[in-house]
Structure 1
Amino acid sequence: MRQREEDKQIPTVAPGMDDDEELNEKATKEEIVHGDYTKVVTLSFDEVDPST
């Protein structure tokens, strides 16, 4: 069965996954030794106009 082109472009997250909780979880020493971790960088955009 072929996927529609629009279905391929929609990002998805597994049901029940809490992004903040999962991404902020620290890797254990064992995971680090085995290279079983991912470095996560969080960017934040401050929308307050500094001129006011």
Structure 2
Amino acid sequence: MKKRRVEDNEPAFAPGDDDALEQSASEEEIARGDYTEVTRLSWDEVDPSGEDE
């Protein structure tokens, strides 16, 4: 199987790189279209059914 080559200019983030994703784009970056929308998902581990007894 051939590995996909990552280009040097392609951004990459690893789990834990939240600081970079939390930064807001500047007005200049927004005007250039140089930004990425980020959607955060969180896992709710509370079982509302009460069946964990």
TM-score category by the smaller chain?
0.5 to 0.7
More helix by share: 1
TM-score (ref. length: structure 1): 0.63
**Would you say how many aligned residue pairs link Structure 1 and Structure 2?**
42
2:47 equivalent in structure 1: 49
**Matched residues in 1 for 2:30 and 2:13: separation?**
24
Determine which of 22, 29, 32 is the counterpart of 2:30.
32
**Matched residues in 2 for 1:30 and 1:46: separation?**
37
Which portions of structure 1, spanning 4 or more consecutive aligned residues, are displaced by more than 3 angstroms?
Answer: none
TM-score (ref. length: structure 2): 0.62
- What are the ranges of 5 or more consecutive residues in structure 2 without an aligned counterpart? 5-11
CA RMSD for the aligned pairs? 2.4
Percent of residue pairs identical: 51
